[in-house]
């Protein structure tokens, strides 16, 4: 009865559950608050196609070296892209703030895929790529590069720990796809949280940490603080909105097919 | 045996080795320092520079003499490492606008300092023909001859020319302005006198930090970093993965260039100007770049499996090990003494100079 489950759909996905429901009840999956719908069990509520992407620490047993090689290589990629961000589009403040830090969406996507390692790539990329390789001071870079670590760790925790239970894909596929492995994506909700959380809240946190640390170290003139803060915020926001959906659309399914997406923080 | 001896002899005859940014001459005093010593050197110099240029005006203001001394030390080390010439020819255009920009930022965006003010021209209301014109022409000529490009040298020369227009003494000095061509209205701002001192201090401090960072990059190899990590007790596999990051920097850069060239050869516009256009162009490069990254990682992982990296209980490792010599200990001790002298005890180099009877 109902549609056949599509190849690749999780056997416990809502799509499969849908096929077992009576036809009039199928709408309940997409509007569970409707009075005519039976209350879903907690097991059903949590059976999204992304339920296996959690905030667990590690897998049981050692991880294959391919994964660690991948983590190392993606750090190198982010480092090179951080370098190009500063060199190609020019520094804003001459102390490490690029006009358009176009590596920012890469860090977002890599963190969603690889958890801690993606965020670490952002940190090392900022220190080495946008710092050492363009001749900017090492000590300040080590300090303010925390702006490329802390917000991404917070983002990963919120997406997998909270938003994933509310029907938002922690891999952000619902930004660009109408269905995710058989589950009808809630695009509006996904974009709402993407803009509010990543674009506004965490971007502001990143700017505050980055420019704030530079100000505390005496690298930013007092009267220019907000000018640099706004430059940081706007530059990252534009890069994020333009590039993140493209990266998600073009790469996430491939990375998932290879089995390379972390199920937890570290592996 | 003979082949091994001749090979070793050829290696001993090597004069330069590849570093992160360029290459360095073997046998220089800086090349003989341990990687840990070099990292400590730039961290301490950066700390001293940060401390010296952040001294509040109420406590005597920035230590300009100390910053100048630090800068001389860094330049001397660059000279001793025989990399100063490469640095000047390759990074002059990048470094000079950065330092000039820092000066301008700190001069005009630091109004909250105490003490008397002074007036500086943003624009004097005329185009002077005089000393500032000489500055513009000379800067442009020197930078163009060094770099053989126009935009960067022109930007730096214009900034220098504009800086030479700022002092109000321009109005009265016949040397500064032999002739004047009226152009626009005069715009002047009041800035505290201390803002000029702070701006100069920031430039000197940034120069110390920037050039000491270059000192590390121009005199350190990635193999040395991996070896230093092992000497610090980092497990072999962890240091191996860390060395993978450095080894893949060149590979990723080459991938980026190859993808870009392939797209240009197939008619994709990836060389447009404008930040938004460049962002869109980058989006076209990003997908194949990440795909090649994943493919390479999988291939390397399989290669490691094939060589027993994962299953071997004990790995025979080949690594570069440089001993920590008495020179390294002496340098570290000197750096520690400088930190205690300046940061902990709060002594200033300009005060020492005054005590000695100079100034």
**pLDDT 10s digits, B285-311:** 888 888 898 888 888 888 888 887 777
pLDDT in tens, A197-221: 999 999 999 999 999 998 998 888 8
| pLDDT given for residue A248 in this prediction | 92
Q: Is the ipTM of this complex over 0.85?
A: no
Give the phi and the psi of residue B349 in degrees, each rounded to 5. -70, -35
pLDDT tens per residue across span A124-176: 998 888 888 777 778 888 998 999 999 999 999 999 999 998 889 999 999 99
Question: Which segments in chain B show pLDDT lower than 50?
Answer: 1-5
Cβ-nearest to B293 among A64, A77, A247: A77
Please report the pLDDT score of residue A118 as a whole number.
93
Percent with pLDDT over 90 in chain A: 33
Nearest CA in chain A to B101: A94
Measured between CA atoms, how close is A245 to chain B, in angstroms?
10
Whether the per-residue pLDDT at A109 is higher than 90: the answer is: yes
B94/A134 Cβ within 8 A: yes
Tokens of B296: 């390479």
**Mutate which: B46, B245, B343, vs A, most A CBs within 10 A:** B245
The distance from CA A32 to its chain's CA centroid, rounded to whole angstroms, is 27
In a mutational test of the B interface, the residue from A62, A64, A73 whose CB has the highest number of chain B CBs within 10 Å is A73
pLDDT the model gives residue B245:
86
| All residues at 6 or more sequence positions from B316 whose CB lies less than 8 Å from its CB, including other chains | none
Find all residues with CB under 8 Å of B121, minimum gap 6, and list them. Answer: B165, B166, B167, B168, B170, B186, B187, B188
Distance in angstroms (rounded) separating the CA atoms of residues B330 and B326: 6
B276 part of contact set with chain A, CB < 8 Å: yes
Alpha-carbon span A92 to A86, nearest angstrom: 9
In angstroms, the CA A119 to CA A109 distance is 10
Structure tokens at A1: 């009865």
Please indicate if any CB of chain A lies within 8 Å of the CB of B291.
Answer: yes
- Structural domains in chain A, CATH included, are 69-257 (1.10.1760.20)
Confirm if B135 and B122 have CB atoms less than 8 A apart. no
Percent of all residues in chain A with a pLDDT value above 70, rounded to a whole number: 76
Of A79, A224, A242, the CB nearest to B249: A79
Which pLDDT score is estimated for A2? 38
All residues of chain B having their beta carbon less than 8 Å from the beta carbon of residue A114 are none
Q: How far is A65 from chain B (nearest CA, A)?
A: 6
Q: Angle formed by the axes of helices A116-124 and A150-161, to 10°?
A: 160
Measure the CA–CA gap between B234 and B226, rounded to whole angstroms: 9
pLDDT in tens, A11-62: 444 444 444 444 444 444 444 444 554 444 455 445 678 878 888 876 666 6
> Which residue would you say has higher pLDDT here, A97 or B56?
B56
Cβ neighbours of B47 in A, within 8 Å:
139
Q: Give chain B's largest Cα–Cα span.
A: 82
Q: Is the CB of B307 inside 8 Å of chain A's CB atoms?
A: no
Rounded Cα distance, B32 and B300, in Å: 33
Q: A221, B290: Cβ pair inside 8 Å? A: no
Q: What does chain A look like in DSSP terms, one character per residue?
A: --PPPPTT--TTSHHHHHHHS-GGGGGGGT-TT-TTSPPPPHHHHT--TTTT---B---SSPPPHHHHHHHHHHHHHHHHHHHHHHHHH-BSSSSS-BSS-TTHHHHHHHHHHHTHHHHHHHHHIIIIITTGGGT--HHHHHHHGGGGTHHHHHHHHHHHHTGGGGT--TT-GGGT-SEETTEEP-HHHHHHHIIIIIIIIIHHHHHHHHHHHHHHTT-S-GGGHHHHHHHHHHHHHHHHHHHHHHHHHHHHHHHHHTT-S-SBS--
Instruction: Nearest by CB to A132, from B213, B245, B300: name it.
Output: B213
CA dihedral B339, B343, B345, B348 (to 10 degrees): 100
Q: Is A188 exposed, middle or buried (0-12, 13-18, 19+ CB in 10 A)?
A: exposed
- Supply the mean pLDDT for chain A: 79
Q: Are B42 and B213 in contact (CB under 8 A)?
A: yes
């Amino acid at each position: 009865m109902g549609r056949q489950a599509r190849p690749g759909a999780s056997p416990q996905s809502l799509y499969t559950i849908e096929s077992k429901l009576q036809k009039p009840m199928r709408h309940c999956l997409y509007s569970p608050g409707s009075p005519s719908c039976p209350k879903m069990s907690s097991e059903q509520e949590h059976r999204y196609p992304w339920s296996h992407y959690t905030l667990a620490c590690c897998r049981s047993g050692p991880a294959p070296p391919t994964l660690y090689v991948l983590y190392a290589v993606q750090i190198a990629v982010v480092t090179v892209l951080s370098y190009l961000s500063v060199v190609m589009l020019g520094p804003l403040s001459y102390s490490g703030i690029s006009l358009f830090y176009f590596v920012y969406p890469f860090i977002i996507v890599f963190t969603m895929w690889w958890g801690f390692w993606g965020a670490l790539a952002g940190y090392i990329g900022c220190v080495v790529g946008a710092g050492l390789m363009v001749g900017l001071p090492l000590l300040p870079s080590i300090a303010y590069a925390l702006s490329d670590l802390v917000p991404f760790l917070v983002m990963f925790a919120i997406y997998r720990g909270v938003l994933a239970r509310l029907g938002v894909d922690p891999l952000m596929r619902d930004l660009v796809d109408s269905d995710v492995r058989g589950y009808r994506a809630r695009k509006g909700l996904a974009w709402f949280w993407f803009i509010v959380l990543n674009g506004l809240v965490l971007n502001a946190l990143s700017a505050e940490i980055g420019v704030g640390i530079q100000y505390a170290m005496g690298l930013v003139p007092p009267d220019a603080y907000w000018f640099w803060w706004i430059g940081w915020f706007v530059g990252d926001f534009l890069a994020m909105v333009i590039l993140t959906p493209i990266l998600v659309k073009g790469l996430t399914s491939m990375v998932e097919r290879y089995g390379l997406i972390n199920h937890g923080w570290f592996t | 045996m003979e082949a091994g001896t001749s090979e070793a002899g050829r290696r001993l005859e090597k004069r330069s080795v590849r570093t992160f940014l360029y290459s360095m001459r073997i046998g220089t005093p800086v090349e003989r320092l341990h990687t840990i010593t070099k990292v400590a050197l730039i961290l301490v110099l950066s700390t001293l520079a940060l401390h010296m240029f952040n001294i509040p005006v109420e406590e005597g203001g920035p230590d300009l003499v100390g910053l100048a001394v630090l800068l001389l030390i860094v330049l001397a080390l660059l000279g001793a490492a025989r990399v100063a010439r490469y640095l000047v020819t390759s990074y002059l255009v990048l470094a000079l606008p950065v330092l000039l920009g820092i000066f301008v930022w700190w001069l005009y965006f630091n109004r909250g300092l105490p003490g008397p003010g002074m007036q500086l021209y943003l624009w004097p209301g005329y185009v002077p023909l005089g000393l500032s014109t000489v500055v513009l022409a000379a800067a442009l000529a020197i930078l163009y001859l060094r770099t053989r490009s126009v935009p960067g040298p022109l930007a730096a020369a214009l900034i220098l020319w504009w800086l030479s227009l700022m002092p109000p003494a321009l109005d009265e000095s016949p040397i500064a302005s032999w002739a004047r061509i009226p152009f626009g209205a005069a715009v002047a701002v009041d800035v505290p006198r201390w803002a000029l001192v702070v701006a100069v201090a920031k430039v000197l401090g940034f120069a110390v930090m920037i050039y000491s960072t270059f000192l590390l990059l121009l005199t350190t190899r990635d193999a040395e970093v991996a070896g230093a990590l092992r000497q610090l007790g980092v497990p072999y596999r962890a240091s191996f993965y860390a060395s993978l990051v450095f080894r893949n920097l060149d590979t990723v850069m080459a991938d980026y260039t190859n993808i870009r060239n392939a797209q240009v050869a197939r008619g994709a516009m990836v060389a447009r100007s404008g930040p938004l256009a460049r962002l869109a162009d980058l989006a076209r490069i990003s997908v194949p770049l990440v795909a090649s990254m994943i493919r390479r990682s999988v291939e390397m992982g399989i290669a490691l499996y094939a060589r027993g990296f994962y299953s071997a209980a004990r790995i025979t490792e080949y690594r570069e090990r440089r001993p920590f010599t008495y020179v390294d200990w002496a340098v570290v001790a000197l750096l520690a003494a400088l930190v205690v002298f300046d940061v902990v005890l709060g002594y200033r180099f300009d005060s020492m100079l005054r005590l000695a009877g100079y100034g």
